[in-house]
């Protein structure tokens, strides 16, 4: 008899109803706790992980990948322990991970499977778990942290710092050098923004953090390393100030960014509703020639995870968890994570 596990799966729409889709997203009540067979690694580079924690991601029930097939097991972020590796007859094929290794990571968007007690993941999707983080903290880092990492270092072209001497006990840094690049981060207090501020600080940039309210966010963002904190209304009057702008909110702040970025600078957005902003802004006449502008979706991978783990182990990258739910309460957790709440950090499933 096959071994079984518990997993959260999305059930199809009730009989007689329109099928669930991006245009007709499933309600949280469609999420059910099931007992299903434990999967097994079936190809080189695959490992079976006993999941310790995963995260709730806002609007996951509106993603097209969620409706790729029926009875989908949800969840991409994960932390856990490797319990099995794919056994290959090729003696030259050496697994990257061993049974017992503690790992964290994120499965590809089209391969959700982390809201379960076990999941098969690819070696390229995980890295060694930061030693100083709890299971919940480690699970909260991959999606938001890698999005910030790729925006700043991969897409933004900022060099990844290789030598860092700071520790949690010595977080005060020197002022940015006169020739440091200026970066503006909109939505700086949000899920991706908090990592952008920290990573930009680690990289030695002059960091301006923009939000809707300084009264609510300034002290917090300064503690993360922001050199300046401004409200969106302030950015409207700026002209040719920033070498790089990374937008996390879209809307008017993204429109205003065209004037605030330097003529040879970069404008990047990770706001999902702004996927076609370049085309729209050209039609509206707000886009500027010479500015490199684009939207991207995080790819993830071992390199970014390993860098994030190194920063976390040095104590210079903080992780934020707002609330933790058990796996059986995933429906409640999703409703909470997609509602209006105060506080900072991820909603996490402890498994």
**Residue 176, burial from CB neighbour count under 10 angstroms (0-12, 13-18, 19+):** middle
Please tell me the chain's helix, strand, coil percentages from 3-state DSSP, rounded to the nearest 5.
Answer: 30, 25, 45
206-211 and 182-186 strand pairing: parallel
Token duo for residue 222: 């300064």
Q: β-pairing, 46-55 with 72-73?
A: unpaired
Q: Which single residue is written with the structure tokens 């409703």?
A: 335
Q: What pLDDT was estimated at residue 87?
A: 82
DSSP for 209-223, written as a single string: EEES-HHHHHHHHHH
Residues in the chain predicted with pLDDT less than 70, given as ranges, are: 1, 89-92, 163-179
User: How far is 260 from 232, CA to CA, in rounded Å?
Assistant: 11
Q: How many CA atoms lie within 13 A of 16 on its CB side?
A: 0
Neighbours of 116 (CB within 10 A): 28
For 12, the enclosing helix (H) or strand (E) is: none
Whole-number pLDDT of residue 152: 98
| CA gap 189, 220 in Å, rounded | 8
Using alpha carbons, select from 190, 176, 316, 327 the residue that is nearest to residue 253.
Answer: 190
Domains of the chain (ranges plus CATH)? 4-141+319-350 (3.90.180.10), 146-295 (3.40.50.720)
Residue 113 DSSP one-character state: -
**pLDDT for position 120:** 98
Task: Give the list of residues 6+ apart from residue 177 with CB closer than 8 angstroms, or none.
Answer: 204
Tens-place pLDDT, residues 294-307: 999 999 999 999 99
Report the distance separating Cα 305 and Cα 87, nearest Å. Answer: 25
Tell me if 319 sits within 8 A of 144, measured CB to CB: no
Q: Compute the distance between CA of residue 111 and CA of residue 92 in angstroms, rounded to an integer.
A: 28
């Amino acid at each position: 008899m096959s071994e079984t596990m518990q997993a959260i799966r999305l059930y199809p729409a009730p009989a007689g109803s329109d099928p669930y889709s991006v245009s007709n997203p499933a309600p949280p009540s469609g999420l059910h706790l099931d007992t299903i067979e434990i999967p097994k690694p079936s190809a080189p580079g695959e490992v079976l992980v006993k999941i310790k924690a995963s995260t709730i991601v806002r609007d996951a029930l509106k993603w097209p990948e969620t409706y790729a097939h029926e009875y989908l097991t949800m969840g991409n972020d994960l932390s856990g322990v490797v319990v099995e590796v794919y056994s290959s007859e090729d003696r030259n094929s050496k697994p990257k991970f061993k049974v017992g290794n503690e790992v964290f990571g994120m499965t590809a968007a089209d391969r959700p499977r982390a809201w379960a007690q076990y999941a098969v993941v690819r070696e390229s999707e995980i890295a060694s778990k930061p030693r100083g983080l709890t299971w919940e903290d480690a699970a909260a880092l991959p999606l938001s942290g890698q999005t910030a990492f790729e925006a700043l270092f991969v897409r933004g072209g900022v060099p990844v710092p290789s030598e860092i001497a700071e520790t949690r006990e010595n977080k005060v840094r020197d002022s940015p050098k006169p020739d440091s690049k200026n970066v503006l981060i909109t939505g700086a207090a949000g899920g991706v923004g908090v990592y952008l501020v920290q990573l930009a600080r680690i990289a030695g940039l002059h960091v301006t953090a923009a939000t809707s309210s300084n009264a609510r966010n300034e002290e917090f963002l300064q503690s993360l390393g922001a050199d300046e904190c401004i409200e969106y209304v302030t950015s409207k009057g700026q002209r040719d100030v920033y070498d790089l702008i990374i937008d996390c909110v879209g809307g008017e702040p993204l429109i205003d960014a065209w004037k605030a970025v330097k003529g040879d600078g970069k404008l990047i957005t990770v706001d999902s509703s702004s996927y076609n902003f370049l085309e729209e802004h050209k039609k509206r006449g707000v886009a500027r020639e010479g500015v490199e502008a684009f939207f991207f979706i995080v790819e993830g991978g071992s390199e970014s995870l390993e860098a994030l783990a190194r920063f976390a182990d040095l104590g210079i990258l903080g992780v934020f968890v707002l609330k933790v739910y058990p796996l059986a309460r995933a429906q409640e957790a999703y409703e909470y994570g997609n509602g209006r709440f105060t506080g900072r950090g991820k909603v996490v499933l402890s498994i």
